[in-house]
Structure 1
Amino acid sequence: MTDFIRTPEENFYDLSDFRFSPYFHTWQDMRMHYLDEGPRDGPVMLLVHGMPTWSYLYRDFISPLTEAGYRCIAPDHLGFGKSDKPTDINWYTIARHTEVLTSLIMTLDLNNITLVCQDWGGPTGLAQAAMMPERFERLVIMNTWLHHDGYEYCDNVSSWVQGWKEGGFYCH
């Protein structure tokens, strides 16, 4: 079991512009917070944040999207926002974040997804679209990237990227 910290809910009380109902997905005894707003039968907008943000980043997107009929799912990666925070710094890998996001998508049985991803939300979210293309309809990609074989990395980054290849979260 991974040791983690759970941020008390009262730490978020002063956020007057973030009055969404909290939902939690359990993954290996840890809670991943996510927002689930809008009609359950609406087309899905999966809003994936980067680092060092959390679902709060998308707070101004959600109301207009739900008013337009979209279902907005905005998770907080483990370690961010209202999600549990593993205490081992080595826990934090893109492969793990991708695995947790896969679990959320499968548990909620999300389909017809429009992925909106930013920063580190790109590698985790775009990996989902590459692994499960049948679940995705559109991509909105902002200030991010996806690792692939055709890109040549500098030596310092190459060893780090090797972990992605070994974890299976690298597009060929």
Structure 2
Amino acid sequence: MDTFTKKHPDESGPLACLRTPADRFSRLIGFDYPVGFIDVGGGVRMAYIAAGPADGQPIVLLHGEPTWGYLYRHMIAPLADAGYRVLAPDLVGFGRSDKPTRIADHSTQRHVDWMRAWFDALGLTDAVFFGQDWGALIGLRLVAEQPARFSRVFVGNGFLLTGDEPARFLIGVWRAFAQYSPLFPVGAMLQAGTRRWLSRAERAAYVAPFPDARYMAGPRALPRLLPVSPGDPAHRPNRAAWTALETFESPFHTCFSDGDPVTRGGAKPFRERVPGAASVSHKTVAGAGHFLQEDAGEEIAHFMRDCALRS
């Protein structure tokens, strides 16, 4: 276990982080890709894998809560084989990335800043983006902020909540569970959000980033950051992001499953409000749960490829 303290450039206090030992990831099946690390500020490292030709158009696949880039293993090879440079980063606090140890160290703005720093360090332009769950929320903030950087966007089982929406019962339950439950069984959560049966090795891969409770501030924090009222810190910046997305004219696709009670109906606002969604293909994935990449990863990758070919 590596423990270190860094000063975040935008904060006055130290940022204590943990690094998951590399041997926790030594038994992964179907995820044998080289790992890179980017300093995204104050010595905090964000991990990512890359596949496909180095000169290919970049496709960024961004996971959400409580997963990591491993979630995209069924999508990476088909997209790389189609000639794309596929990049799957791990959010700070997840996967192989550094893990701030305090829940208070996580904020929506910090995650947006960390993700922007990663994009900047790699010099990504003309990027195709796919985001699910929190990956959609963080990624869409970047799309709204720097639209010229993105040539095409896919949102899969995700949303950009502002706190103005009608209350969602399951989100309230999820926030309370993350805050008060003494247990946080990541493997069981993945199984609950997936229709197919995950093997023991697959469930273990999702648990691997978190050797013990000290590593879990990120998964514990993100549910509490979802805005549920106009008084939440993310309310104004997320509303501003929606205003920007209402002028986004590049292709914008939705790819939602029919079996996710958390994001059910979430495709509609994007299709109605984002100009780039008006005349492009959208997809409903039959028989998939919240983690649709697990249930239908290859199908989604082929949809993404076909959307680009039809342009």
With the length of structure 1 as denominator, give the TM-score of the two structures: 0.90
Match of 1:163 among 233, 240, 248: 233
User: Aligned equivalents of 1:159 and 1:139: distance in 2?
Assistant: 27
Match of 1:15 among 18, 24, 28: 28
SS state at 1:163 partner: coil
Give the C-alpha shift of residue 159 in structure 1: 5.4
User: Aligned equivalents of 2:20 and 2:230: distance in 1?
Assistant: 33
Give the C-alpha shift of residue 165 in structure 1: 4.3
Q: Does 1:50 align with 2:64?
A: yes
SS state at 2:66 partner: coil
* Post-superposition CA distance 1:22-62 (Å, at most 9, x none): 10011221111011221122111110000000000011111
Give the C-alpha shift of residue 75 in structure 1: 0.6
* Letter matched to residue 9 of structure 1: A
Alignment match, 2:17: 4
Q: Does 1:25 align with 2:95?
A: no
Alignment match, 1:112: 126
Preserved contact between residue 165 and residue 228 of structure 2 (Cα < 8 Å) = no
Structure with greater proportional helix content: 2
Give the C-alpha shift of residue 63 in structure 1: 1.0
SS state at 1:50 partner: coil
Match of 1:84 among 89, 92, 98: 98
Preserved contact between residue 57 and residue 126 of structure 2 (Cα < 8 Å) = yes
User: Aligned equivalents of 2:121 and 2:38: distance in 1?
Assistant: 8
SS state at 1:3 partner: strand
User: Aligned equivalents of 1:67 and 1:17: distance in 2?
Assistant: 15
Detail structure 1 runs of 4+ shifted over 4 Å in the superposition: none
Structure with greater proportional strand content: 1
Give the C-alpha shift of residue 148 in structure 1: 4.9
Q: RCO higher in 1 or 2 (8 Å CA, sep ≥ 6)?
A: 1
Number of residue pairs the alignment of both structures matches: 169
Question: How does 1:125-140 map onto structure 2 within 5 Å?
Answer: 125-140=139-154
The unaligned stretches of length 5 or more in structure 1 are none
Alignment match, 2:222: none
Preserved contact between residue 162 and residue 228 of structure 2 (Cα < 8 Å) = no
* Letter matched to residue 48 of structure 1: L
SS state at 1:39 partner: coil
User: Aligned equivalents of 1:159 and 1:147: distance in 2?
Assistant: 10
Cα root mean square deviation, aligned = 2.0
Preserved contact between residue 127 and residue 150 of structure 2 (Cα < 8 Å) = yes
* Post-superposition CA distance 1:70-124 (Å, at most 9, x none): 0011110011010110001111222111111100111111111111010010110
User: Aligned equivalents of 1:21 and 1:40: distance in 2?
Assistant: 13
User: Aligned equivalents of 1:34 and 1:97: distance in 2?
Assistant: 15
Alignment match, 1:74: 88
